[in-house]
Structure 1
Amino acid sequence: MNNRNGKRLLQAALPWAVPVLVLLLWQVFTTTGLLAGNILPRPVEVGRAAADLLKSGELLDNVAISTRRAVLGFLVGGTVGFLLGLFNGVWARAELLLNTTIQMVRNIPHLALIPIAILWFGIGEETKLVLVSLGVFFPIYLNTFHGIRSVDPKLVEMGKVYGYRGASLYGHVILPGALPAILVGVRQSLGIMWLTLIVAETVAADSGVGYMAMNAREYMRMDIIVLSILLYAVLGKLSDSLAKLLEASWLRWHPNFAAKR
């Protein structure tokens, strides 16, 4: 039992070894003067800035705004991507009709659309929603489409033998078989979600973590700028951890994921 607890503790602590090492090196380099304060502030200064912003309520407000934008964009883009991936994956004629257009749009960098999005929608919430939705859409669409098309035909035949037809066949055989690929798309899209939001908030926003960083730049507040970067890193890590929990919960039947439990 002690060995098992020790192994679990090691597995929980090991992923944080590199971040802690980076934090220690950061502290050493900034304290000894190897890195000047105008290049990178000391960790204690970043922590003091975080405490001040927490006390004023500005930090939590901006984090909540950014999180709401990210979640809403993910839901819109992810839902459309999943439905189109499912539609094109199960119906060859739909793929023939729609897939070429989708691939053409996919090769347009969605961040290059920021100027036209600002002209169309201004710097309101619509701009961030459109950009995040576009960024999220393609990874989920491609992985859903690939997952549907990669389901083993033998599993489909076996499902038919057990009496599954139509919606029940897709619900009990095809979608579960495609789920690992779909969840890969979810993890990819979560990273793109935050990347897109960072750029959108620094260019076209009057609130949010990105806006907080750009506003701090005007006053040369390096501590707040670094804090904003760290906040995005933490939010991205939390999103990825949530996706991993979904994998662990929804793919318990899968031998590759069951072996990691």
Structure 2
Amino acid sequence: MVNQMLANREMLKVHTPKSARLIADGFLVAVLVIWWYAAKGLPAYVLPGPVDVMSNLLRFGYDPEMLWHLGSTGARVLGAVLISTFLGTAFAVLPLWWPWASEIVENRIQPFVNAIPSIGWAIIGVIWFDVSNFAVMFVQVAILVPFCLVNVTVGIRQLDLEIIEMGRSFTRTNSIIFFKLVLPLLMPFIASSLRMALGMAWKLSLVSELFGASSGLGFVMLNAQESGNIALVIATCCTVVIAYVASDRLIMTPITEYFSGRSRKGRIIPVNQ
């Protein structure tokens, strides 16, 4: 659960001994040394050294072309996360107003969409929409929607129906009940869905852009692989990791902590990520 995970994270920050941190840092240094030593005996197109990878990684911070590709991927990730969270929430709340929709959403739409593998969606997206930004976002949204749907559905099952019934005693307008009662109660789960979708979207971006994009980090990786620039391939993967960690720490962690704090006050516990 999100509240428990955040509490455990804070406890680890406080109680983690310095010796454990030194061991972790030493392990990282050892990996870099082993990598550097192993790369000396292999050609660059098989295993480039850490220096070559770092030089390519830094290009994403100053090279206009690389910045353009990074920005293209970031924009697609943001759009896919917002759209998939909106669609997942919309499908999840349908049974609140139309109970007969529960069978369609949970036992028809969700299993079908969730069963198609990621590579299948990538191929379908290219066939249907050719190489385009829409094809890339279609692939990401199609894969992310089921996860957001499950998360918000769990939130709906934990809603306090007595509060909703109390709201109906004041008004019979469904839109007012939804925006004043249901949506605030679901916000911790929606925030959790956003965070989960963001992490998955960065991972999916490479796969989707390999097949259906003329820009982005996946496109950079494909060109690097064709030209034998393995250092750039590894640097692109590292860029995705850095971008995910930065967006999670700077954007999603504050949002999740804000709604988790509100949920503790209201005794709402969102589903585990």
Deviation at 1:119, TM superposition (A): 1.8
Residue equivalent to 1:240: 248
State the superposition RMSD in angstroms. Answer: 3.5
Where do 5+ consecutive residues of structure 1 fail to align? 1-6
Deviation at 1:160, TM superposition (A): 6.2
1:32 aligns with 2:37: yes
Residues 124-160 of structure 1 show CA distances to partners (whole Å, capped at 9, x for unaligned) of 1121021011122111122122211211334445656
For 1:130, which of 129, 138, 159 is the aligned residue? Answer: 138
Q: Classify 1:18/1:197 alpha carbon distance in 2 versus 1 (closer, same or farther; 3 Å).
A: farther
Where do 5+ consecutive residues of structure 2 fail to align? 1-11, 268-273
Residue equivalent to 1:84: 91
Moved more, 32-41 or 116-125: 32-41
For 2:113, the aligned partner's letter is V
Any idea what SS the aligned residue of 1:92 has? coil
Q: Distance in 2 between matches of 1:75 and 1:136?
A: 10
For 1:254, which of 234, 242, 263 is the aligned residue? Answer: 263
The higher relative CO (CA closer than 8 Å, separation ≥ 6) is in 2
Q: Distance in 2 between matches of 1:234 and 1:53?
A: 11
Q: Distance in 1 between matches of 2:232 and 2:264?
A: 45
User: In 1, are the aligned partners of 2:95 and 2:101 still within 8 Å (CA)?
Assistant: yes
Deviation at 1:257, TM superposition (A): 11
Residue equivalent to 2:124: 116
For 1:43, which of 39, 50, 58 is the aligned residue? Answer: 50
Q: Distance in 1 between matches of 2:168 and 2:121?
A: 46
Residues 71-103 of structure 1 show CA distances to partners (whole Å, capped at 9, x for unaligned) of 122222222222121223443122234443312
Residues 220-251 of structure 1 show CA distances to partners (whole Å, capped at 9, x for unaligned) of 21221111001111122233332221112233
- Structure 1's consecutive aligned runs of 4 or more residues displaced over 6 angstroms after TM superposition are 7-11, 16-19, 160-165
Q: Distance in 2 between matches of 1:240 and 1:111?
A: 25
1:145 aligns with 2:153: yes
For 1:236, the aligned partner's letter is Y
User: In 1, are the aligned partners of 2:60 and 2:70 still within 8 Å (CA)?
Assistant: no
Q: Distance in 2 between matches of 1:78 and 1:142?
A: 11
Q: Among the aligned pairs, what percent are the same residue?
A: 20
Any idea what SS the aligned residue of 1:253 has? helix
Q: Distance in 2 between matches of 1:54 and 1:116?
A: 33
TM-score (norm 1): 0.79
Deviation at 1:106, TM superposition (A): 2.4
User: In 1, are the aligned partners of 2:93 and 2:156 still within 8 Å (CA)?
Assistant: yes
Any idea what SS the aligned residue of 1:177 has? helix
In the alignment of these two chains, the number of paired residues is 251
1:1-261 aligned at under 5 Å gives the runs: 20-21=25-26, 23-33=28-38, 36-37=41-42, 38-52=45-59, 54-103=61-110, 104-156=112-164, 166-241=174-249, 242-255=251-264
For 2:70, the aligned partner's letter is V
TM-score (norm 2): 0.76
User: In 2, are the aligned partners of 1:72 and 1:129 still within 8 Å (CA)?
Assistant: yes
Q: Distance in 1 between matches of 2:92 and 2:26?
A: 42
Any idea what SS the aligned residue of 2:100 has? helix
User: In 2, are the aligned partners of 1:89 and 1:149 still within 8 Å (CA)?
Assistant: no
Q: Classify 1:21/1:151 alpha carbon distance in 2 versus 1 (closer, same or farther; 3 Å).
A: farther
